C-alpha cells in the first residue's frame, strides 16, 4: 500500500518529529497529513485518457465548419484544462494539521475548519461497507462529547499511516470497532457521524 506523506513542522516548543508530537515533554509537534499521493494519478490519468481522444475528435469534426466552430472547440479544451489545473491545485493544498492544540483541516474546496483540542472527546475508527457490496472502507471520526463528527477521514482518500497518527498527535483515546457496518447501521447507532443523505435505504449485504 502506498502511504501518504506524514511531515512535521516547527511547533511552539521548537523542532518536532512524529515522536515528539505524542510526547508532552518534548514539545508541541504539528503533523501535516496529506491525502494519498496516488489518488490524483488514479483519477486524473483515466480522465485524461478519455478526454484527449474526445477533444481531438471534436476538433476534427468542427474544423470543416469554419474558424468560429474551431475556435469554440479550442476554447472548450482550454476551459477543461483550466478546471483540471484548478483541481490539481486544490488537491495539492488539501491537508489536515494535527497537534496537542487541535486540528486544522483545509478541504478540497478550500474550506478551512479549526477544531480546538478541548472540543475533542476522542477518535473512532471503524469500517463501513461500500454501497451494497462486501468491500469495506476505513473510516476515522474525530468526535465531540455529544458524539458528533468534527473531522472525518475516509480510507478512499487517506491511508492507514495518516489515520494512525491522529489520536496520538491529539493525545486522546481511540476507540476501534472491529465489525464492519453499513452506513444505515452506523446512522442508527451514531446519527451524529454522517451527513443527512448518507445511509438512507442501505442494508447489510
pLDDT tens digits along 65-108: 777 777 777 787 778 778 777 777 778 888 999 999 999 999 87
pLDDT band at 45 (very low <50, low <70, confident <90, very high): low
pLDDT band at 57 (very low <50, low <70, confident <90, very high): confident
Q: How far apart are CA 125 and CA 176, in angstroms?
A: 5
Question: Which of left, alpha, beta for 171 (phi over 0: left; psi -120 to 50: alpha)?
Answer: left
Q: Report the mean per-residue pLDDT for the chain.
A: 78
Whether pLDDT at 161 is above 80: yes
pLDDT band at 8 (very low <50, low <70, confident <90, very high): very low
**Helix H or strand E encompassing 127:** strand 122-129
Tell me what pLDDT residue 140 has. 97
Q: Could you say which DSSP state residue 18 is in?
A: T
Whether pLDDT at 15 is above 90: no
Query: For 26-182, where are the alpha helices, taking DSSP H only?
Result: 39-62, 67-93, 160-170
Q: Which of 72-76, 162-166, 182-186 comes out lowest in average pLDDT?
A: 72-76
Q: How far apart are CA 116 and CA 34, in angstroms?
A: 20
The pTM is what?
A: 0.68
Amino acid at each position: 500500500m502506498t502511504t501518504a506523506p506524514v511531515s512535521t513542522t516547527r511547533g511552539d516548543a521548537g523542532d518536532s518529529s512524529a515522536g515528539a508530537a505524542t510526547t508532552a515533554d518534548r514539545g508541541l509537534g504539528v503533523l501535516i497529513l496529506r491525502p494519498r499521493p496516488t489518488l490524483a494519478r488514479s483519477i486524473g490519468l483515466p480522465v485524461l485518457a478519455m478526454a484527449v481522444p474526445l477533444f481531438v475528435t471534436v476538433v476534427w469534426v468542427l474544423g470543416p465548419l469554419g474558424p468560429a466552430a474551431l475556435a469554440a472547440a479550442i476554447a472548450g479544451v482550454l476551459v477543461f484544462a483550466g478546471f483540471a489545473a484548478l483541481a490539481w491545485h486544490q488537491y495539492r493544498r488539501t491537508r489536515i494539521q494535527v497537534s496537542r492544540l487541535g486540528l486544522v483541516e483545509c478541504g478540497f474546496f478550500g474550506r478551512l475548519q479549526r477544531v480546538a483540542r478541548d472540543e475533542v472527546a476522542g477518535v473512532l475508527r471503524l469500517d463501513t461497507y461500500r454501497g451494497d457490496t462486501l468491500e469495506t472502507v476505513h473510516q476515522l471520526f474525530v468526535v465531540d462529547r455529544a458524539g458528533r463528527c468534527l473531522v472525518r477521514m475516509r480510507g478512499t482518500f487517506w491511508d492507514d499511516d495518516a489515520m494512525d497518527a491522529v489520536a496520538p498527535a491529539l493525545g486522546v483515546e481511540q476507540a476501534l470497532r472491529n465489525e464492519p457496518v453499513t452506513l444505515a447501521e452506523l446512522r442508527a447507532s451514531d446519527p451524529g457521524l454522517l451527513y443527512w443523505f448518507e445511509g438512507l435505504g442501505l442494508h447489510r449485504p
